[in-house]
Every structure is written in C-alpha cells, then in structure tokens.
Amino acid sequence: MPGTNVLDDAAFLRTFQVMDRVIQDSQPVFMFVWVGSIVAVLATLALGVSQLSGLELYLLLAAAFSYLFGVQLPTVRFNIPLNNELQSLKLAELDLLELRRARSDFEPSWNRWNRFRTIISCISAVLFLLLLFRH
C-alpha cells in the first residue's frame, strides 16, 4: 500500500482494478490457497474439538474463530464488495472530481479493513502456534 499511496487518483484506482482482476481471473493458486485456508481451519477445528480439552481447546477455538470471523468474514463482507464496486467503474469516463470521490469512497475503508484483517490474522497465527507448541 505505501507504493500506491503516492499515485494520483486515476492511477491508484486503475492499479487496484488491475491487481484485483488478475487475482479474480488468472490466479487459481490464489483462490486455492484462500479457500484452502478456510477448509484447513474448519477441518482443524472439527478434528480438534473432539481431541482437545482445557487450554488447548480454548486456544483452538480462539484461533479458528478469530481467523474465520476476524479475517475471512471482513474479507467477504467488506473488501470483496469494495473491490467489485471498483471493478464496475469506467475510469476513462470519470472526470477528476469523480476520480477523487471514487478513491475517497474506496481507499480509507479498504485500508481500514485490510489493517484489521492483518492484525487479526497475526493474532490467529500466534494462537495456532501456541497451540502447536503446547500440544
């Protein structure tokens, strides 16, 4: 994000459009890893609930729920809709004021939720690691 901050509005919006389009259209590995992470956490949760107890169970629950509800839910609820809204813009048809408005509608919210997801994913990873080392 620091690199995109210095771009003018049209370049910023176009950069995000291109990055998102590449991910949506040409990166099955990205989709496999993204969906696979959800499946892996759900499988770990399903297996762990029946085999763990006490602190280990609480660590598993905290790690899984923080990942699913603190990372994946905001991704689906906020970041993806913002990306899709941005994809619908015909940037070449927008004047400078409309470009400024589009960026201000997109960037602060997208960044806020991205920072939130990053923090929660780090917490979730630490919890999973604590569980791994404890078990």
**Of 26, 66, 60, 23, which is closest to residue 43 (Cα–Cα)?**
60
In tens, the pLDDT along 89-117 reads: 999 999 999 999 999 999 999 999 999 99
**pLDDT for the residue 51:** 96
Q: Structural domain boundaries of the chain?
A: 2-134
Q: Give the ranges where 27-53 is alpha helix by DSSP (H).
A: 28-51
pLDDT digits (tens, 9 = 90+) for 14-34: 999 999 999 888 788 888 999
Structure tokens at 27: 């990166």
Per-residue pLDDT band at 2 (split at 50, 70, 90) = confident
Q: Which residue has the tokens 């917490």?
A: 123
Instruction: Measure the CA–CA gap between 57 and 17, rounded to whole angstroms.
Output: 41
Please report the pLDDT score of residue 28 as a whole number: 87
Residues in the chain: 135
